[in-house]
Amino acid sequence: MSKGRTQSLNYSAHAIEALRKDAALLRFSAPNSARAYSRIADLLTESVKFILRNCASYFDPEDLRQVHLDLTHLPYPCIALEAPWELETDLKEMGGHPLEPATRRIALCWEARPEYELMPGLNQILTRFEEGGTFVVPIYWSPAHAKWNVCIGGTFIPYQNIVGPIDTHEITPASAMASKAALEAGIAKPRAAHFRAEPFVLLPELFEQSVRHLGGREQAFAHIIQNSLDEAMMLIQACSVLNCANVGTADLTASAALNKKRIAKNLQPFFDYKILEVTNERSPRSNAGNGMDHASPKMHLRRGHLRRLDGKAIWVRPAVVNPNSGRGAVHKDYAVAP
């Protein structure tokens, strides 16, 4: 990917092809999981797709505040967030279990609506969270196996969510295990803010295998929480920025000629995408017809933070003023008026 410039990722198209193949392979040995694979592929096909910057890093996770959770509402009922995941150093293990790099990520997110119920009974979680919320499922590329994978479960993030320290009286055993593992791995700090994310099972037969392998259901649920954390933060990062008054989206259109060739080969066509941008920085050039297989003139929204201005959430970014000054650079924040 060209530095700073948005290119097509096309993760969803390739993941859909892999998911449908896995569904066929599991049809007899794990029929419930096979149906889940097929349904995930259907939702991923239907979703509105966004391209995010590397690791979906728009603000420092240590700066997570209540305003971020308050802004975490989907712009569409079902979305897919795609992001490359290139880390400076790879985490080797967490919770005593080895980890493998996952260099391409998709966070499939949907609102708890009847038409999007992935599995029968999944929306029963609304009996506990009547205000609703968002389901998040991690889909990722494993370079070690050259394969797209789906986690055995995901997390449900309620709309009514409070950011704060861990409540030791209310935390579930699985959440406690996941938090301890994150602390020991160095990816969380003792005083880090937490939010509520309820794990759910997506692939029943594979979940039972995980229960046997890890030694219990709580351990298996803790594993789901650990494996879903990055994608949950992708959702929070993207939505809290996108719902700022001065942030909008630009469209990237798939190449019709390229898709014609893919359809002729019985391959999944590539999709159109949206990217995040500050509203007054829209490129005057249209991407329509340019396709998505070449570098786009549009730029990724850079890292920054939220600020309240006239009762609205505004996205602000650091800027350098007079960088050639002998007294050194002076840093300030600036906001683009909505």
The per-residue pLDDT for range 179-226, each reduced to its tens digit, is 555 544 455 555 566 788 999 999 999 999 999 999 999 999 988 998
Q: What are phi and psi of 162, to 5 degrees?
A: -110, 125
pLDDT in tens, 266-306: 999 999 999 998 876 444 333 433 343 333 345 567 788 88
Environment class of residue 82 by beta-carbon count within 10 Å: exposed (0-12), middle (13-18) or buried (19+)? buried
Q: Within 13 Å, how many C-alpha atoms sit on residue 332's CB side?
A: 6
Q: Which amino acid belongs to residue 200? A: F
Instruction: Give yes or no for a contact between 77 and 135, defined as CB atoms under 8 angstroms apart.
Output: no
- Average pLDDT on 6-27 reads 95
Domain ranges of the chain: 11-242
**What is the rounded CA–CA span in Å between residue 132 and residue 77?**
12
Strand partners, 150: 139
Give the number of other Cβ atoms within 10 Å of residue 62's Cβ: 10
Local structure of residue 189 (DSSP, 8 states): -
Whole-structure pTM value: 0.83
What is the reported pLDDT for 336? 35
pLDDT in tens, 116-160: 999 899 999 999 999 999 999 999 999 999 999 999 999 999 999
Question: For residue 328, is pLDDT > 90?
Answer: no
pLDDT in tens, 63-98: 899 999 999 999 999 999 999 999 876 665 655 666
**What is the rounded CA–CA span in Å between residue 60 and residue 14?**
30
Instruction: Give yes or no for a contact between 207 and 201, defined as CB atoms under 8 angstroms apart.
Output: yes
Cα-based distances in Å from 212 to 31, 208, 219, 264: 19, 6, 10, 44
